[in-house]
Chain A
Amino acid sequence: GQNIDQPTEMTATEGAIVQINCTYQTSGFNGLFWYQQHAGEAPTFLSYNVLDGLEEKGRFSSFLSRSKGYSYLLLKELQMKDSASYLCAAPFTGTASKLTFGTGTRLQVTL
């Protein structure tokens, strides 16, 4: 599979900006996914990066550096509904058929 590391928990204030980091093995790299999962619900797709750089999608942006094995998810203008777990996922080395998921970063947005 892959070794994926991301922080376990983060807390941020409503209206603020938060950055959730993810590191992974670089060999055989074939793209990196971010998913959002609210408590008790299914993961939902947020973003996919295969090239270096920042991709913006409304309040959410995702960054990738392939040479450093590093990605981050940037959430702007935080809202209470953004309280959720954010999962980083990368393909198994050498294949795009299956993903390895990180353990997820649980984000708590406070007033």
Chain B
Amino acid sequence: NAGVTQTPKFRVLKTGQSMTLLCAQDMNHEYMYWYRQDPGMGLRLIHYSVGEGTTAKGEVPDGYNVSRLKKQNFLLGLESAAPSQTSVYFCASKSGGNQPQHFGDGTRLSIL
């Protein structure tokens, strides 16, 4: 059981480039989340989804877009990368209600 899988694991971009981070879960979870984690700031919610075809903004959505076309996949896009988006990005999913979130291993993104 793979759980939550994030690709890629590492990436270096130049300012202005675009890219998409992929999150896939095989637990049939309804809810999916994208976070960024920066030193001293903890995990901050970027966008989330409560089901296939739905998305919603979190605490820090600016500069990011998301899509949830299939239940098992949640994509995070950076249209024009900026150095301030250098971070570790975590995807998570949960089945619903007060169930715990399960996290992927993270994507380490550097923007030069």
Contacts and interface: CB of A to CB of B under 8 A. Distances in A.
Interface stretch (A12-20, A52-60, A73-81, A91-99): A91-99
13 contacts: A30-B98, A41-B105, A43-B90, A45-B102, A89-B43, A91-B98, A96-B97, A98-B33, A99-B45, A101-B42, A101-B43, A101-B44, A104-B42
Nearest to B106: A42
A97 B32 CA distance: 10
Interface of B: 31, 33, 35, 40-45, 48, 50, 58-59, 90, 97-98, 100-106
Given A41-B106, A43-B43, 4 more contacts: A44-B103, A50-B98, A103-B41, A104-B42
Contacts of B50: 97
A48 B59 contact: no
Determine which residue in B45, B50, B90, B104 has the highest number of CB atoms from chain A within 10 A of its CB, and name it. Answer: B45
Interface of A: 1, 30-31, 33, 41-45, 48, 50, 87, 89, 91, 96-104
Contacts of B98: 30-31, 48, 50, 91, 96
Contact of A42 (B33, B44, B90): B90
Contacts of B42: 87, 101-104
Main secondary structure of the interface of A (DSSP, over half): loop
A33 B103 CA distance: 14
Contacts of A42: 90, 103-106
A103 B31 CA distance: 23
A48 B98 CA distance: 9
Contacts of A48: 98, 100
Nearest to A47: B100
A1 B42 CA distance: 14
A48 B43 CA distance: 18
